[in-house]
Amino acid sequence: MAVLARSPIAVRRRPRLRRRAYLNLLALPGLLIVSTVWAYPFLWTISTAFKTQLGAFTAGAGLVPQPLDLDNFKRAWVTAGISSYFINTVVYATGSTMIELTKSALCGYVLARYRFPGRNLLYKVIVLTLFVPVISILIPQFVLIQHLGLLNTRLGVILAQSGGAGALYVLLFAGFFENLPQDLFDAARVDGAGFLQTFWLMLPLARPIIAVVVIFQFVYNWNDFTVPLVFTLGQPDLQNLAVGMLHFQGTHSFDLTGFAAGMLISFVPVLIVFLIFQSYFVRGLAGAVKE
Amino acid sequence: MAAGRLSLSSIRALATRGAGPDGRRFWIPVFLLPFLLLYGGFTVWPLLATAYYSLFNWDGISQLSDFVGLTNYQKILGDPIFWLAFKNTLVFAVVETAIKLPLALFVAILLTRRWLLFKTFFRTVFFLPIILPVALAGLVFTYLLNPSNGAIDSFLADRGWIHTPIDLLGHGNTALIAIILVAVWQIFGQYMVYWMAALQNVPEDVYEAADIDGANELQKLIHITLPLIRPVALIITLLAIVNALHVFGVVVTLTAGGPGQASYTVSYFIYNEAFSEAPFRYGYGSAAALLFAVLAFMFVTGQAAIARGAERLRRDYSV
Amino acid sequence: MRSWNRPLGAAVLMILTAACSGGGQPSASSSAAPVTLTIQDFSVEQTDFHKQVVAEYQRVYPNVTIQWQSTAQAQYEQTLPLAFQSKQAPDLFYWQKQGSNTMNWLLSNSWISTVSPDGKVPSDWTKRWPAGSFQNGINMKDGNVYGFPWQDTHYWGPGYMYMNKGVFAQAGLDPSNPPTTWSQLADTCANIKSKTKAYCLAVPLKGTDWQRIWYAMAAGNMTDLFFDYKNGKFSLDNPAMLQTFNYLQGLYNKGYFAPGVQDKSFSRQQFAAGQAAIYMDGPWMISVWDQLGFHSDSYGVAAHPNPDGGAKGALSSLNSQNAYWVSSQTQHAAEAWKFIQWMTNPTGFFAQNFLSHQFATLAFADDKKLLTDPAWQQIFKIADKAGFRVQYPDPLLKCPALAQSKAYTDASALHPNWEHQVMVDAITSNKDLKPAAQLVVSTRQQTLEAELQKESAAGLKVSASCYEFGTNGWDYTQNFNIANYSKP
């Protein structure tokens, strides 16, 4: 590894600070403009939660609710059944995220670094199955859960939610592990690490991918209404928030302001998960070998 | 091993006996098992079942009795509306991916620079659209894009930049553009996060060494970043295209495939044909789904082959 | 690493325990006192009303708890079949998807049982409905009663023209003197366009929402259906239908439509916000607009305008109003029947409160007395006029063997909503509708005739003449009564 020539710290700091300020001055204004435009539809949705339906319509571009209507929140709380469904939603999202994470990390690791019979076939099958639209596979999944006797159970819902999209996370993990420098593995072997220990050592390096899987599986699950609805037909109190949100869709009209209010109440946990895990995207592999 | 004394390590030693130097012949199957079980049960088995259903005329409710063989496939292949949907879907996928991937990469690079302030704020802003359920996003944009009093049009009109309102959703040729833009907006954050994860693969030391050598940002991008993230980048590209090919939620809520059939995509075609009127045509829908999967796969691998061929030519001729 | 192993493990354990504890027993069905009835539909906007019904019914019959579950329509239609398949069907459910053939379809899938445990009903129950409401093949089979008409189909349907009083006043027009012919409508629109800033017609063009204005206008010229029951052919390429379309296309090209491809919610709000003068739809708008805070003192109702030479057709009233059914998997047939009787009491709690909310008309109640909103009174006046809406002939009653036929459903389920798609396409790109209409009609007609032939060759007593009522003396403007049906 190249030994970096280090100049005295004090002399180095001033130009670096100036460079930082200069780059920020360059980038921030552009980013601010883009962010405003980007966030606008979301802000519009949030402001809709405070408007009356007709008020939302006539306001057009305006973000200020006129008249202000807080009734939407009361209605949303009851219609979407937020108090009853919140716990379920958290359980499903957390449970399926952990299962997803475990199975994709394990499989991706093995797929990336070890040759075994059927490896290429597995890779090909995974890629191939990515191409099939998901619409048509609900009935067979239902039949499977029915035969497992897991209808109307939380476990059944979690399993069905973890079974679907795993393929792409496996590919991400595999790609990432494949990219790790061989030196790391050699160093571990020299230190006498076995299979499991090597894996335990390598896993933290995959923190970015872990963050990706957690964020997206959580978001996807949080908003998924099909699986929690279909697999809890006999026990509706096992449904989640996204199913509750379906109740805004009446026979003749769609309760947009109620929906917006419901979404506003319920999206905070997803935001928290994102805020926590996005911090994983600053640390790199700096000095990993030296450790 | 002493009789009657079972410890974790002794169990493990027993299990991995004969499994290779680090026990891999035991561990590899163990690691693969959870994925294979869930994947097999919830993805592979349903796919096989779908292929089986596609050979029947089935409404999803009664018994599976009306075997029609490959008739469903024949009907779909001969259906001009399917090909229209297919063409639209390809156009959508290519254009949307071409927009979102480079843009997301640029933003991801920017938002992982150590010198940037308020990183978390900007990352959150780009991520927020994903939290919106797709149904809501489409509805919101119907309001924002409508030419009567929509936000976008009134904004542009107030500043005098346009005189007649632009009706993106009202004309066949612009409806698809509207869908592409809304889809990019909605899914952008996902690819930004993917790229941020990919960029973590690049050790900070390499950048510092380049800094010492006097490289500027563009050179660092082309010669360090892109080559180093290439393997993951390929996967991200594949995922991007596949997701784009399956676009559905935005189409349903923004245009309902319209006006007319101008923004029909294959997922919407399947949904409309199979599920919008009784009796459901489950077999037909299954056949369309599988047929599309095969065609899409051929398209993507064809593109990849072309790209690889071009790459080889470039290298051969050192261009 | 190891420090967060333990709490992680604890968290996993907790979640898995929560997960495994979710499976409970579905509601017990003991034949002793407490009974739970499950009712499912997609009338989400009636949820508060359902809660009142449940409370009231429990007050009268303390041992019965009703669970009334409503969800969005698309999801409802997807999950109900799965519920039946996994033996989790509710006791009562709402289903209307197959129109007048719904009962036969439900029977063929073994989804329903008779409304009463033995299939027979007392005459003072059937007397709640007008004569002829119970017919074999529609809601009765072999003398057993399976369904009962829910909403009426004479007042409840498309074809009414709503006029925004404010916008009309700005243009110097009077809603109580509405346009009654096509040219008058065009003149009204010209007036509104020149004298006000509002659009004339709020017309939704997204998906199938185009039907709101189409059914209203096409009915006056021939029929509002995509099938011509006089000649037994699909109707879109009929000159009368094309004429209606060309008229509407003319209005669109003159700029009388509100711009954009909107869905019905948007157009309705446009009307309520005073940005459009006219909107055409059915009587459900009264309660929809009420929820928006837009009440009937702000708008007028009239019949849809007819062609200049007078009405050559009428809106259709079909035998499609049987909606709630007793499921075949119910464990409480007697309780379900008791509830149905309670629910359909014309002067009972249900009818009175349902109608006071103005959700819909009820076939078994005195709608005219209980729907008191002035807009409703106008609706009744309009629909009571002869020739506004007529009872259409039903092929199922002419040829009962059609219950086993798939020909018509296959023909019309081919490319669902195709007619709407070609019409919206033609109107937004200013194309001639004729070629596309001919393609649609010929494709559907070929399928229909080919399959009918196959079926009759296989011994089913069906033929193309089952769909043709011109020979029975029917014309588009007449009521087709039961007496007119003759055996094939």
First to last CA, chain B: 66
Residue B5 has a pLDDT of: 61
pLDDT at A282: 67
pLDDT of C15 reads 54
For residues B74 and B43, state if they share a domain: no
Question: How many angstroms separate the CA atoms of A240 and A226, rounded?
Answer: 10
Evaluate whether C155 touches C361 at the Cβ level (below 8 Å): yes
Indicate yes or no: CB of A135 within 8 angstroms of CB of B22: no
* pLDDT for residue B168 is more than 90: no
Domain count, chain B: 2
CA distance A152 to A156: 7
pLDDT of residue C14: 55
- Radius of gyration of chain A, Cα coordinates, nearest whole angstrom: 24
Range in B16-20, C81-85, C120-124 the model is least confident about: B16-20
Average pLDDT over residues C375-383: 95
Chain A residues with CB-CB distance to C under 8 A? 52-54, 57-58, 79, 91, 94-95, 98, 138-139, 142, 146, 150-158, 200, 204, 225-226, 229-230, 233-236, 238, 243, 246-254, 256
Whether B43 and B66 share a structural domain: no
* Among the ranges given (B6-20, C91-105, C227-241), the one the predictor scored with the smallest mean pLDDT: B6-20
Domains of chain C and CATH, by start: 34-153+319-344 (3.40.190.10), 158-317+372-488 (3.40.190.10)
Same domain, B33 and B131: no
> Which residues in chain B touch residue C428, judged by CB atoms under 8 angstroms apart?
170-172, 259-260
With a cut of 50, say whether residue C29 has pLDDT above it.
no
Are A109 and B32 a contacting pair at CB < 8 A?
Answer: no
Averaged confidence pLDDT in chain C:
89
Domain co-membership, B129 together with B242? yes
Of the ranges A96-110, A225-239, C382-396, which one carries the lowest mean pLDDT score? A225-239
pLDDT, one tens digit per residue, over A6-32 is: 555 544 555 678 878 888 888 889 999
The mean per-residue pLDDT over the stretch B192-213 comes to: 82
Number of C-beta neighbours around residue B161 at 10 A: 8
Question: Residue B165: inside a domain, yes or no?
Answer: yes
pLDDT band at C30 (very low <50, low <70, confident <90, very high): very low
Nearest to C19 among A57, A155, A204 (CB): A155
Provide mean pLDDT across the span A130-159. Answer: 85
Interval A165-212: pLDDT, tens: 678 899 989 888 887 888 888 888 888 878 888 888 888 888 888 999
Residue-level pLDDT at A13:
56
Is residue B1 domain-resident?
Answer: no
Rounded CA separation A235/A237 (Å): 6
pLDDT tens for residues C56-81? Answer: 999 999 999 999 999 888 889 888 98
B88 and B70 together in one domain: yes
How far apart (Å, rounded) are the C-alpha atoms in residues C47 and C68? 8
Least confident interval from A64-78, B100-114, B204-218, B238-252: B204-218
Same structural domain for residues B214 and B83?
A: yes
Q: Are C98 and C320 in contact (CB under 8 A)?
A: no
Q: Which residue of C has its CA nearest to B63?
A: C109
B16 and B124 inside one domain:
no
CB contact under 8 A, C293 and A52: yes
Token look-up 């063009």 returns C205
- As a whole number of angstroms, the distance between CA B201 and CA A180 comes to 8
* B226 in the same domain as B98: yes
Taking one residue from A and the other from C, the number of pairs with CB-CB distance under 8 angstroms is 120
Residue B3 lies in a domain: no
Q: How many CB atoms lie within 10 A of CB B305?
A: 10
Q: Tell me the percentage of chain A whose pLDDT exceeds 70.
A: 90
CB atoms within 10 A of CB C120: 11
Q: What is residue C21's predicted lDDT score, i.e. its pLDDT? A: 47
Is residue A288 very low, low, confident or very high in pLDDT (cuts 50, 70, 90)?
very low
* Predicted confidence (pLDDT) at residue A86 exceeds the cutoff of 70: yes
With beta carbons less than 8 A apart as the criterion, state whether C287 and C358 touch.
yes
Query: Picking from C199-203, C319-323, C355-359, which range would have the lowest pLDDT averaged per residue?
Result: C319-323
Q: What is the ipTM of this complex?
A: 0.85
Does residue B35 lie within any of the structural domains? yes
Asked if C260 lies within 8 A of B281 by C-beta distance, the reply is no
Phi and psi dihedrals of A255, rounded to 5?
Answer: -85, 80
- For residues A212 and C4, the answer to whether their CB atoms sit within 8 Å is no
Q: What is the pLDDT of residue B234?
A: 86
Query: How far is it, in rounded angstroms, from Cα C423 to Cα C443?
Result: 16
Whether residue B225 lies inside any domain: the answer is yes
**Would you say B54 and B73 are in contact if contact means Cβ atoms under 8 Å apart?**
yes
> Is B100 found in the same domain as B45?
no
Min Cα–Cα distance to chain A from C485, Å: 35
Give the least confident one: B50-64, B242-256, C6-20, C454-468.
C6-20
Q: Which two tokens stand for residue C133?
A: 């409401």
Mean pLDDT, all residues of chain A: 83
In a shared domain, residues B83 and B43: no
Top pLDDT among B151 and C265 is at: C265
CATH number, residue B227 = 1.10.3720.10
Neighbouring CB atoms inside 10 A of A108's CB total: 26
Q: Which of A146, A154, A249 sits opposite C22 (nearest CB)?
A: A154
Of A35, A49, A88, the residue nearest A269 (C-alpha) = A88
B78 in a domain, yes or no? yes
* Contact check, Cβ <8 Å, C263/B256: yes
| Residue at B2 is within a domain | no
Residue B26: domain span: 8-51
B61 shares its domain with B34: no
β strands within chain B, DSSP E: 56-57, 66-67
Q: Are residues B37 and B134 in the same domain?
A: no
- Over residues B138-147, the mean pLDDT reads 86
Neighbours of chain B (3+ CB pairs under 8 A): A, C
Among residues A179, A183, A176, A209, the alpha carbon closest in space to that of A290 is found at A183
Q: Is A250's CB within 8 Å of C45's CB?
A: yes
Inter-chain touch A125–B125, beta carbons under 8 Å = no
Q: Rounded to whole angstroms, how far apart are CA atoms B73 and A82?
A: 45
